[in-house]
Amino acid sequence: MSRADGGEARIAATFARCRAEGRAAFVPYLTALFPDAPRSLAAARTLLQHADLLELGLPFSDPLGDGPTIQRSSEVALRAGASTAGLMRMLRTLRAETAAPLVVMTYYNPIYCYRGPAGEGEEAFVEDLRAAGADGVILPDLPPDEGETLIAAARRHDLATIFLVAPTSTDARLRLVSAASRGFIYAVSVTGVTGTRDVLGAEIGDLVRRTKAQSDLPVAVGFGVSTPANAADVAAFADGVVVGSRLVQTIADGDDVDPVAAALAAACRRPAVAG
Amino acid sequence: MFPYPDPRGRFGPYGGRYVPETLVPALDALAEAYDEARADPAFMQTLEDDLRDFVGRPSLLTLAANLTARLGGAKIYLKREDLNHTGAHKINNTVGQALLAKRMGKARVIAETGAGQHGVATATAAARYGLACVVYMGEEDVRRQALNVFRMQLLGAEVRTVTSGTRTLKDATNEAIRDWVTNVRDTFYIIGSVVGPHPYPMLVRDFQSVVGREVMQQLQEYEGREAPDAIVACVGGGSNAIGVFAPYAYLSEERRPRLIGVEAAGHGMTSGAHAASISLGKRGVLHGALMYLLSDDDGQISPAHSVSAGLDYPGVGPEHSFYADEGLAEYVAVDDAEALAAFRTLAEVEGIIPALETAHAIAHVMRLAPTMPPEAIIVLNLSGRGDKDVSEAMRVLGERPVTS
């Protein structure tokens, strides 16, 4: 089932290209199917003009790792009929149009309860997600300790498992997460939930350094990165910059995400070091 | 002392730690601190002293002679958790966890609450042990339980109203977890039921199991036997039920009484508006644990409904999920109307106004007792008193106080 043109390989090639071009990968996040399926698809297409990877969040009724912006967007999307099948349709549409890696962020219960064309449960979810065109899955409430069976299924179907590290992670945890992750590692910039913040914590630089000491995988930083200035700060030491709530809020306000994404993408290009 | 959970926090397949990575080190630290504390005689002595001198333990085991006579079957005893300080079983756990918080050097505690009883019990323990306290409560419950909101404020706690999702216990719990993720370094999360990531279901079970241990002793004294024929308790998340069940649940089959958990059937089992997670739910993950859960085909959590805010929760503790599968306990459901009738019956017949949560268990005892012979014994865990529910009961029953 392994395909050289997708999954881990596609994600790895993208980070390698960004590194060669002297910039951090720009990874915009969208709550999938928010505010509804057509407008979400339009926003995704716009973002893909600037994105190196695109992250799509499956709306969930109880997003306990998310702040108010993504909570509200999830509620709106679910009221508008968002479903796991709807996410799969969106992925298939986008996959036909882009070569960029597509990664899905989802809480665990929709995976555990999944029913789809390939059957029921974790393995069927992984198989259908990969077949729909996703390259990886980000698991905000599944530490690798609880993910053994999901990880095994993801390996069989070449879907990258992207786990999170946090400022509270010990070196032993960083080793565990690194060993379980494929594609890249997602570093949470602050102890907290998603959402825009004026100032990023000083601890994020330290976390990225500690993570890189345990792993050769690229490390992308998310949670609280909202302005081009934030993005430029993070791009100086991280391999990828994830921006979510800022973009979701822009869509919620009915504004155009294009200029916002363009400015953020530009900020991910590291200035050439003089001398 | 109990054979479960296993070292990974599992009761059979249930439980575990499905949480953001940020919290994993905190859960490790909590499990370690608890292991040390329960092996420390000084800690256990302080807990025992405070349960006696502050909470008022042991709680009474009262023979419900009038109810027994009216139902004409098994002899009914009431385990009087309603007589504890703050009026419910919740304080057994909050005193334990607050002492643990203090031992761990945490200056701030947070809690979620549905009916408000756990919030009041947390605010009370926080006041006694000098800890800052924030309680999350759904907007719908703030309305239903206004009296408890003011009680928490009097006790020095800050009550934060939660307006997301269903605006009840489920979303108050989400918000408490978000607070904990944000402030994990200096904050102790006092979970009120046998839910959440490991080690919480174990921690809360252990602190509540004093209830069942006392029943064993008291029944030995009154009846010359440690076990009744049946124990009945209401189940939302399931902390009062685990408290009275656990000391019996792992006994051999000959020594084990029937353990009956009563879920809330809300508007009825076919109405779609209920909180019967074991009776009608399926396995799933919420708030950090695998358990029986009400969710749709996509794994989205379904809103629960019960007239009692404390049972208005779409999941049930992992240990109850395990008991149900293993046949260690049985689970039934009682709807709003039957619970309200039982609420009134206990008040009229025994002079005790129970919590609406407890009224679900009373309703089942009223079904069960007449089917059993007079030499049989039922223990009903009277988990809380009904003062907090009087105005909501008046509203639901469409009644006004009679004035002359």
pLDDT by residue for chain B (404 residues), tens only, comes to 899 999 999 999 999 999 999 999 999 999 999 999 999 999 999 999 999 999 999 999 999 999 999 999 999 999 999 999 999 999 999 999 999 999 999 999 999 998 899 999 999 999 999 999 999 999 988 988 888 999 999 999 999 999 988 898 999 999 999 999 999 999 999 999 999 999 999 999 999 999 999 999 999 999 999 999 999 999 999 999 999 999 999 999 999 999 999 999 999 999 999 999 999 999 999 999 999 999 999 999 999 999 998 899 999 999 999 999 999 999 999 999 999 999 999 999 999 999 999 999 999 999 999 999 999 999 999 999 999 888 888 888 876 665 54
Of B17, B165, B295, the CB nearest to A109: B295
Nearest CA of chain A to the CA of B159: how many Å? Answer: 19
pLDDT at A264: 98
pLDDT digits (tens, 9 = 90+) for A207-235: 999 999 999 999 999 998 999 999 999 99
- With a cut of 70, list the residues of chain A below it in pLDDT: 1-4, 199, 272-275
Nearest CA of chain A to the CA of B197: how many Å? Answer: 11
pLDDT at B286: 97
Kindly give the interhelix angle for B90-103 and B200-208, rounded to the nearest 10 degrees.
120
Tell me which amino acid residue B117 is: Q
Indicate the pTM of the whole model: 0.96
Q: Choosing from A52, A55, A128, A233, which is the catalytic residue?
A: A55
Report residue A214 as tokens: 């345990």
Dist CA A141 CA A109 (whole Å): 9
Nearest CA of chain B to the CA of A203: how many Å? Answer: 13
Radius of gyration of chain B (CA): 19
Of B22, B185, B301, the CB nearest to A62: B301
pLDDT at A239: 98
For B57, which DSSP code?
P
3-class SS letters over chain A: CCCCCCHHHHHHHHHHHHHHCCECEEEEEEECCCCCHHHHHHHHHHHHCCCCCEEEECCCCCCCCCCHHHHHHHHHHHHCCCCHHHHHHHHHHHHCCCCCCEEEECCHHHHHCCEECCEEHHHHHHHHHHHHCCCEEECCCCCHHHCHHHHHHHHHCCCEEECEECCCCCHHHHHHHHHHCCCCEEEECCCCCCCCCCCCCCHHHHHHHHHHHHCCCCEEEECCCCCHHHHHHHHCCCCEEEECHHHHHHHHCCCCHHHHHHHHHHHCECCCCCC
Cβ separation B177–A64 shorter than 8 A: yes
Angle (CA) B12 B17 B19, round 5°: 150
Cβ separation A140–B177 shorter than 8 A: no
CATH of domain A7-267: 3.20.20.70
Q: What are phi and psi of A270, to 5 degrees?
A: -75, 140
For B196, which DSSP code?
S
A-interface mutation test, from B14, B22, B187, B293, most A Cβ less than 10 A away: B22
CB B32 within 8 A of CB B38: no
pLDDT at B400: 62
- Chain B residues with CB inside 8 Å of A83's CB? 298
Cβ separation A168–B185 shorter than 8 A: yes
Residues ≥6 apart with Cβ < 8 Å to B124: B85, B86, B91, B94, B155
What CATH topology corresponds to B11-52+90-204? Answer: Rossmann fold (3.40.50)
Of A65, A109, A191, the CB nearest to B284: A109
Q: Measured between alpha carbons, how far is residue B359 from residues B169, B230, B325 in Å?
A: 19, 17, 25
Helix (H), strand (E) at residue B197: none
* Domain B11-52+90-204 and domain B56-87+210-397 have a common topology: yes
CB B145 within 8 A of CB B167: no
Cβ separation A143–B21 shorter than 8 A: yes
CB B355 within 8 A of CB B386: yes
pLDDT at A37: 98
Cβ separation A167–B288 shorter than 8 A: no
Cβ separation A113–B299 shorter than 8 A: yes
Report residue B286 as tokens: 């919420």
Of B18, B20, B300, the CB nearest to A60: B300
Q: Choosing from B193, B239, B295, B383, which is the catalytic residue?
A: B383
User: In degrees to the nearest 10, what's the CA dihedral of A72, A77, A80, A81?
Assistant: -140
- Chain B residues with CB inside 8 Å of A191's CB? 22, 181-185
- Chain A residues with CB inside 8 Å of B183's CB? 191
Dist CA B124 CA B131 (whole Å): 10
Residue A77 forms contact with B (CB below 8 Å): no
Cβ separation A192–B181 shorter than 8 A: yes
CB A145 within 8 A of CB A172: no
Nearest CA of chain A to the CA of B15: how many Å? Answer: 10
Cβ separation A191–B16 shorter than 8 A: no
Report residue B201 as tokens: 């279901």
Of B18, B25, B171, the CB nearest to A108: B18
Nearest CA of chain B to the CA of A10: how many Å? Answer: 26
Whether omega before B374 lies within 30 degrees of 0, making that bond cis, reads: no
Number of CB pairs, chain A paired with chain B, less than 8 A apart: 120
pLDDT at B293: 98
Cβ separation A167–B22 shorter than 8 A: yes
Spatial CA neighbour of B117 closest among B384, B362, B314, B359: B384
Cβ separation A177–B21 shorter than 8 A: yes
CB B168 within 8 A of CB B52: no
pLDDT at A195: 85
Residue A75 forms contact with B (CB below 8 Å): yes
Residues ≥6 apart with Cβ < 8 Å to B84: B55, B56, B57, B59, B91, B92
Cβ separation B284–A146 shorter than 8 A: no
Dist CA B166 CA B138 (whole Å): 8
Residue A254 forms contact with B (CB below 8 Å): no
Residue A9 forms contact with B (CB below 8 Å): no
Does the annotation count B158 as an active-site position? no
Cβ separation B165–A168 shorter than 8 A: no
Report residue A20 as tokens: 């060669």
Does the annotation count A66 as an active-site position? yes
Dist CA A94 CA A97 (whole Å): 5
Helix (H), strand (E) at residue B15: strand B14-15
- Chain B residues with CB inside 8 Å of A68's CB? 164
Spatial CA neighbour of A160 closest among A190, A141, A137: A137
pLDDT at B266: 96
What CATH topology corresponds to B56-87+210-397? Answer: Rossmann fold (3.40.50)
Nearest CA of chain A to the CA of B26: how many Å? Answer: 8
Nearest CA of chain A to the CA of B247: how many Å? Answer: 29
- How many residues appear in chain B? 404
Looking at the DSSP bridge assignments, the partners of residue B112 are B136
Q: What are phi and psi of A118, to 5 degrees?
A: -85, -5
For chain A, the structural domain boundaries read 7-267
Report residue B213 as tokens: 């241990």
For chain B, the structural domain boundaries read 11-52+90-204, 56-87+210-397
Cβ separation A141–B18 shorter than 8 A: yes
